[in-house]
Structure 1
Amino acid sequence: MKRVIVVGSGFGGAASVRALRKVLDRTVEIVVVSPRPELIYYPGLIWIPTGARKPDDLRVNLTGFFRKNAASHHPGNIVGLEDGGRTVVTDNGSLTGDAVLIATGAASLRKLPGIEHSLSICSGIDEAVKIRERLAAMTRGTIAVGFAGNPEEPSAVRGGPVFEILFGMETWLRQKGLRHQVELVFFSPAAEPGNRLGPEAVRGLLAEMKRRGIDTRLGEKLVRFSETGVTTAQGEIPADLIVFTPGLRGADWIAGTDLERSPGGFIRAERTCQVPDRPHLFVVGDTGAFPGPDWMPKQGHSADLQADVAAANIKDFLEGRRGTRTFRVELVCVVDSLNSGTLVYRTPSRNFLLKSSLMHNAKAFFERRYLARYR
């Protein structure tokens, strides 16, 4: 029996299992390696601080999904690869497969001094809950919200959720009658934050901040954080709560392998999702550094597109053919503001925005539809 090992059960991993079972018959074994058989719906974290979501709304047990797709789960964390990438070494034993697909996501670039005084909306459920608790306790003061990229790899940035938590908190504070007592400041070392969304999106986001009375500190190099605020090269930003998402980097375990890595530490891969010169090894999602435009997003939608391509090319590989399918580069996101939203769409040939109060409901509908695949 042939075996495909999928490492990771987040967006890329879960989507890959689903895509693989669509193209492979059940004589091919699928084994998923991850700490828990669980998917966290990260796009929904923006709604936890304002109470629109509870943690269990976004946590999906994948045991039934794996059973339905004839996939087994191996609990453990990957610590390395052997045999040219055919053997996955974990802290709970090793497994060897005919093909291996890596979807372990990215790590955060937490280098700034005092970063422990900040909370990130992209770090998971626990930090989203801490933001909720801190926000609920505020009756006056200042909230500083910002993000940064990876200087070694500009595309390794997570800005969309930060805009969403900023606008979401502003809406919530107005609804609670507290906005006039709580100041909001958006900060970023980039002069044009969110430029991956396109020039029109940047102008629109900054205009929305101005309309909502949100102060901005842009293009200022970040120096450190403290209990009382943010220090930049140009001065201080006093804050009672700092919500900050740092840039992304490759996971630590990758550095211990002989895989070719990008400047940011991600696994270099082709548009076929294959690692160069290793036709049996595939990469999906944030783990990979793929050829494409500098705005190519690291988001769940990209992982879904890549999973379909990787699955088809794995099938070809197992049948003795070279997979040639490539994924399309497409950015699709809704920048939510709790009661409205702006759809941003970008491809190599198109870029447009659509702002509407219906977009909030559309984002919620997509969440329910997406999670229904795995529940």
Structure 2
Amino acid sequence: MKKITIIGAGFAGLTAVRQLRKLEQDVEITLIAPRPELQYLPSLIWVPSGLRKREDIIIPLANFFKRMDVNFVPASVTGLKDQGRTVETDQGSVTNEGLIIASGGRFIKKLPGIEHAITPCEGIDAAEKIRDRLAAMQGGTIAMGFAGNPNEPSAMRGGPMFEFLFGTDTLLRQQGRREQFKITFFSPAPKPGIRLGENAVKGLMDEMAKRDISTHLGHKMLGFEANKVKTEGGEFAADLILFMPGMTGNLWFDNSELPRSAGGLVKANQHCKVEGLPAVYVAGDSGSYPGPDWMPKQAHMADLQAECAAKNLIAELTGKTAEATFKIELMCIVDSCDKGLFVSRTENKNTVLPANKAMHWAKRGFEWWYLRQYR
């Protein structure tokens, strides 16, 4: 029986489990992650408004692992050796005949004073902190923004920041408190969200203007203070700062033979194969893949890459040609707690649908549909 190890219990890791089991029942699957749970990050945007709570976001995986016959190892990975055949963890070593790396990315926290900013996509703790800070504020300035990894154009997560931005505005209006707050959106990019396409950027900027959200764009970030955002284009006061930095690879990558991109991610080809290592694949935010500079770091893309990685790993282990590729597709609903802007992009088409209530409910419906397979 072939032994396959998966690192990570996020979107890519769990999709890899499902795809492996779909293709081959007679393989031993071991999954390594700190906890047997999935944090459904797309729904963090609804925590500040109370639409979602901790128990809605964190999905226990014990039943899923039992159904899929997965050996779960509760541990944190510390390194990789023997050309990927040995995964080192803080609980000992795990050997394999095939490996899928799906351990996500790491936010770059090098800006001076970044401890004064909340990074929303770090998980439920951050979302609850935003909820509590907003509830305690009587007024003031709220600053929200994001940046990227200059050496890895795709290694950013800007979409959720637009959602927190518009969602916060909606919440304050519903509470009758919006006039007591100034909201400022900032980014070093002159056209934030350009990976969504020109029409989407125009729609987002128009929405900000309509909601009386000011902008501070196109200036390199210098850092933060407890109540201030500092850029090369000036600084401005902020009583609450939400900031999504660019992403890079996990720290444990440094203790491995993994080839790295300029931005610090695992270098892979169009088949999700890690260059130079036999039977080692990567999926999701951990990897750097060939493709257009708008290729997103999002759950949908991670799922597509995980399916590709699983197909090719099984092919390689059974002596077949590992030739599967993944579709490059950006698809998202930029939600504002009561309506949503739909955006999709492929190499041939870019579609943007005006924000409407149906898209908000479609996003909530997709959440239910997606999570039912893990509950």
TM-score under structure 2 length normalisation: 0.98
Q: Assess if the C-alpha contact under 8 Å between 2:143 and 2:185 holds in 1.
A: yes
Q: Distance in 2 between matches of 1:49 and 1:226?
A: 23
Q: Distance in 2 between matches of 1:311 and 1:244?
A: 34
Q: Tell me, yes or no, if structure 1 residue 315 matches structure 2 residue 314.
A: yes
Q: Distance in 2 between matches of 1:301 and 1:118?
A: 27
Q: Counterpart of 1:196?
A: 195
- The CA deviation at 1:322 is 2.4
Q: Distance in 2 between matches of 1:284 and 1:259?
A: 14
Q: Mind listing any 5+ residue stretches in structure 2 that lack a counterpart? A: none
List aligned pairs for 1:82-121, cutoff 5 A: 82-121=81-120
- The CA deviation at 1:233 is 1.3
Q: Assess if the C-alpha contact under 8 Å between 1:255 and 1:265 holds in 2.
A: no
Q: Assess if the C-alpha contact under 8 Å between 2:6 and 2:102 holds in 1.
A: yes
List aligned pairs for 1:270-285, cutoff 5 A: 270-285=269-284
1:278 counterpart SS class = coil
Total equivalences in the alignment: 374
- The CA deviation at 1:155 is 1.4
Q: Assess if the C-alpha contact under 8 Å between 1:284 and 1:303 holds in 2.
A: yes
- The CA deviation at 1:287 is 0.4
The letter of the residue matching 2:3 is R
Q: Distance in 2 between matches of 1:286 and 1:240?
A: 31
Q: Distance in 2 between matches of 1:28 and 1:79?
A: 25
Q: Counterpart of 1:60?
A: 59
Q: Counterpart of 2:23?
A: 23
Q: Distance in 2 between matches of 1:374 and 1:237?
A: 44
Q: Counterpart of 1:349?
A: 348
Q: Tell me, yes or no, if structure 1 residue 372 matches structure 2 residue 372.
A: yes
Q: Assess if the C-alpha contact under 8 Å between 2:81 and 2:257 holds in 1.
A: no
Q: Counterpart of 2:121?
A: 122
Q: Tell me, yes or no, if structure 1 residue 5 matches structure 2 residue 5.
A: yes
List aligned pairs for 1:61-210, cutoff 5 A: 61-210=60-209
Q: Assess if the C-alpha contact under 8 Å between 2:331 and 2:344 holds in 1.
A: yes
Q: Assess if the C-alpha contact under 8 Å between 1:156 and 1:298 holds in 2.
A: yes
The letter of the residue matching 2:182 is E
Q: Counterpart of 2:244?
A: 245
Q: Assess if the C-alpha contact under 8 Å between 1:108 and 1:249 holds in 2.
A: yes
Q: Distance in 2 between matches of 1:349 and 1:364?
A: 28
The letter of the residue matching 1:161 is P
CA RMSD of aligned residues (A): 0.9
Q: Distance in 1 between matches of 2:119 and 2:89?
A: 28
- The CA deviation at 1:229 is 1.4
The letter of the residue matching 1:198 is G
Runs of 4+ in 1 over 6 A off after TM superposition: none
Q: Counterpart of 1:37?
A: 36
Q: Distance in 2 between matches of 1:279 and 1:334?
A: 38
- The CA deviation at 1:241 is 0.4
- The CA deviation at 1:104 is 0.3
- The CA deviation at 1:139 is 2.1
The letter of the residue matching 1:150 is N
Q: Mind listing any 5+ residue stretches in structure 1 that lack a counterpart? A: none
2:279 counterpart SS class = strand
Q: Distance in 1 between matches of 2:248 and 2:328?
A: 21
TM-score under structure 1 length normalisation: 0.98
Q: Counterpart of 2:333?
A: 334
Q: Assess if the C-alpha contact under 8 Å between 2:159 and 2:334 holds in 1.
A: yes
